[in-house]
Structure 1
């Protein structure tokens, strides 16, 4: 039962096949903050580069319109032509900046994941309209994080605005007395300065949010050992999947071994290449091997044994023989009874002598 529970626990990193399937479904790690930052940064950059040309173009259009307003025909056909002309001129003035900002918006998505064409998100799902599911989403961990993130953004941006406005408080009072032409340069410089600070702060928020969203998505993609086994069957013995399963099994076996070492009666070593941990209780037919290993694993077994005051006996011939002839959770072969009995007898005498 314990082994079955471990097999069904989603504790293993997803395979490449699982990640590819998630991408095909449109299930990808995505941070809205990253997309927002790209649009904000792109818009700020466009204002810095194209504000002069956009202003000149729009100024020319509307100056002529206002100066000649009394000469503009007011019949329907003339107004339609005028509207079309104004629309074309405005579009010509802002087309390049708007197009570049749109490219920034696309870049904010592409940089997070490959382009995905999937209709999965368009399929109707009952969970999207279920009140119970809605309440769960409302009070979920993600919702709480988004709420905290919103509060943090408001606090940070509000602080920055206050820090920028406070030194200019005296100048702001005098702006109302100035001509519009004199106000515009100050407003333009101050707005770009403010946007620059906002872009820097949002960069940190976007980076933190992306790592959080990616971690949430990656945890959701994790697989159980049973799912990996099923995938292995479907892929007809894919060597990579097979090696992955073998590594997982070996890792779990090592963990169980190390957990059993503190309960061992003795560890027999050679002295660094082989280690076999044996457990013997009165009434047992024979000692049972609870852990064994070579080289680094042997040293780890010794380290755990010494940390838990389990006796370590160096007997190279016996350590090599036991390592070759006994498996984990098996009794030692009868051929080694006498040699192991001498070791366990020595350990017991040693413990009695130490008063244990």
Structure 2
């Protein structure tokens, strides 16, 4: 079973992130045997298809270059012209074969692992220059597998070649008795079919190597349980970081809440454990709105800010608890508390009139405010 450098077993399948990072580094399953098979078969097929045309064009080229007039031979200026024309004609002759070979050289690698370009694979790796690491690679399991594949490839190719030669023995003998032009075309056909049959022999090697490379690539990406847990933590955010973010968010929310307290009309307290700040704007209509709420230390801070800004503090434990548990910040109070809060706001209005010298001091607010049973909270 595979192990990492810490001795932990790699028993977990690679995650999508691990696979994606591996591809970004240029690490993916590749099969040299599959590449060789595709290029060889494409070259043999192209030779069979375009071989006759290519042979005819090359023979025409040689005929032109070996049939020179006396004035051409004696004039050195023609040498460059003939050489340039011969090069162009040779390129045109082999162009179909070269295009097929280039196309096969591209299709072969991307047929397993897909298209992948990574600049990291082009960077020099000085670790590969370490003799100890090189010796380790030479005696590794991978090196043994490559050696066995090479031996198998040699044996299969040799057997196919012997079979093809024995099968084409009569054709090879007949070529010696054919006219030159026909012999050249016939030779190309024999070479093309021989190469195609030998390429077909490589199918066996590729059929074994492709699953092996996929297995090796998957095995290399396997992860330990700890690596999977660490990756999930990185993706979801580490608990301590998330806790710190939540703490900062709470602090920002509290600062915004405390900054809105000076706009409140009344602060209703427990008197010590709860505090809620309400605002009512008769011009906008609607119900009173909760500007701030808190318990214990935060409740104390709300009361302190209320005192600094001359906001009336009113003790009503039952109503303070009901508003605290039933209303969110910057939201209107529930309909069930309308009557109780209306009595509070009326008392606040009378207190303001009294302090302004326009009325008598109101009677203390009743402790038994009309709070529905479903909104009551025990102390």
TM bracket (short chain):
0.5 to 0.7
Query: Which structure features the higher share of helix residues?
Result: 1
Of residues 54-63 and 150-159 in structure 1, the stretch that sits farther from structure 2 once superposed is 54-63
In the TM superposition, residue 176 of structure 1 has moved relative to its aligned partner by 5.0
Question: Are 2:114 and 1:114 equivalent residues in the alignment?
Answer: yes
1:29 matched residue in structure 2: 29
TM-score (normalizing by structure 2): 0.56
TM-score by length of 1: 0.60
Q: Secondary structure at the match of 1:150?
A: helix
Pairing 1:224–2:253 present: no
State the distance in 1 between where 2:148 and 2:162 align.
Answer: 21
Which stretches in structure 2 are left out of the alignment for 5+ residues? 238-379
Superposed, 1:45-64 pairs within 5 Å as 45-64=45-64
1:128 and 2:128 are equivalent in the alignment = yes
Match of 1:11 in 2: 11
What CA deviation, in whole Å up to 9, does each residue of 1:251-280 have, x standing for no partner? Answer: xxxxxxxxxxxxxxxxxxxxxxxxxxxxxx
8 Å CA contact 1:34–1:210 kept in 2: the answer is: yes
Structure 2 counterparts to residues 215-294 of structure 1, below 5 A: 215-236=215-236
| 2: CA distance, partners of 1:167 / 1:43 | 21
Assess, with a 3 A threshold, how the Cα gap between structure 1 residues 186 and 180 changes in structure 2: closer, same or farther. Answer: same
Q: Report 1 or 2 for greater relative contact order, CA contacts < 8 Å, sequence distance ≥ 6.
A: 1
CA change 1:50–1:125 in 2 (3 A) is same
Which structure is larger by alpha-carbon Rg, 1 or 2?
2
Tell me: CA distance 1:39–1:169, structure 2 relative to 1, closer, same or farther (3 Å): closer
In the alignment, is the contact (CA less than 8 A) between 1:7 and 1:225 conserved in 2?
Answer: no
**Alignment partner of 1:139 is 2:134:** no
Distance 1:69 1:149, change over 3 A: farther
Contact 1:157 1:198 in 2 (8 A): yes
Measure, in 2, the Cα distance between the counterparts of 1:70 and 1:46.
Answer: 39
1:38-187 equivalences in 2 (<5 Å):
38-68=38-68, 70-73=70-73, 77-169=77-169, 172=172, 180-181=180-181, 183-187=183-187
Verify the 8 A CA contact 2:52 2:188 in the aligned structure 1.
Answer: no
Structure 2 match to 1:267: none
Show structure 1 runs of 5+ residues with no match. 238-356
Aligned residues: 234
Cα distance in structure 1, aligned partners of 2:205 and 2:62: 40
Task: Determine helix, strand or coil for the equivalent of 2:11.
Answer: strand
| Alpha-carbon distance, 1:192 to partner | 2.6
* CA distances 1:103-132 after superposition (whole Å, capped 9, x unpaired): 111001111123222122233333211111
Give the whole-Å Cα distance in 2 for the aligned partners of 1:174 and 1:98: 30
Bigger mean CA deviation after superposition, 59-68 or 148-157? 59-68
Structure 1 residue 186 displacement after superposition = 4.4
Q: Distance in 2 between matches of 1:171 and 1:48?
A: 16
| Residues 20 and 58 of structure 1, relative CA distance in 2, 3 Å threshold | same
Identify which range, 183-192 or 99-108, moves more after superposition.
183-192
* Cα distance in 1 for residues equivalent to 2:172 and 2:25: 53
* 171 and 22 in structure 1: CA distance in 2 versus 1, 3 angstrom threshold: closer
Q: 1:141 to 1:232 in 2, by over 3 A?
A: same
Q: Which digits, 9 at most, give the CA deviation of each residue in 1:152-184, with x for residues without a partner?
A: 111111112212223555665675566544643
* Residue 74 of structure 1: how far off its partner (Å): 6.0
For residues 62 and 140 of structure 2, the distance between their equivalents in structure 1, rounded to whole angstroms, comes to 52
Answer whether contact 1:160 1:197 (CA < 8 A) is retained.
yes
